Amino acid sequence: MEYVTLSNGVKMPMVGYGVYQVTPDECERCVQDALKVGYRSLDTAQSYYNEEQVGNAIQKSGVPRQEIFLTTKVWVEHYGYDAARASVLKSMEKLQTNYLDLVLLHQPFGDYYGAYRALEDLYNEGKLRAIGVSNFYPDRLVDLASFARIRPMINQVEIHPYHQQTESLVWMDKYHIQPEAWAPFGEGRGGLFSDPTLAAIGQKYGKSSAQVILRWHLQRGVVVIPKSTHKERMEQNLDIFDFTLSSEDMTAIEGLDKKQSAFFSHQDPHMVEWFVQLVEQRKAKQE
Which residues partner with 160 through β-bridges?
Answer: 163
145, 208, 212, 217, 238 from 193: Cα distances, Å: 35, 9, 10, 15, 17
Q: Which residues contact 51 (CB under 8 A, 6 or more apart)?
A: 44, 45, 72, 91, 94, 95
Which residues partner with 132 through β-bridges?
Answer: 104
Residue 204 is given by DSSP the state H
Number of other residues whose CB lies within 10 A of the CB of residue 120: 16
Instruction: Note if 48 is an active site residue.
Output: yes
176 is in an annotated binding site: no
Q: Is the distance from CB of 141 to CB of 157 less than 8 angstroms?
A: no
Q: Give SS3 for 220.
A: coil
Q: Is the distance from CB of 67 to CB of 40 less than 8 angstroms?
A: yes
Instruction: For the sheet with 69-74, list strands across it.
Output: 17-18, 41-43, 69-74, 102-105, 131-134, 154-157, 178-181, 223-224
Query: Which is catalytic among the residues 48, 79, 123, 162?
Result: 48
Burial of 22 from C-beta contacts in 10 A (0-12 / 13-18 / 19+): buried
Measured distance CA(130)–CA(201) in Å, rounded:
36
Active-site residues, by number, are 48
Q: Report the binding-site residues for substrate.
A: 106
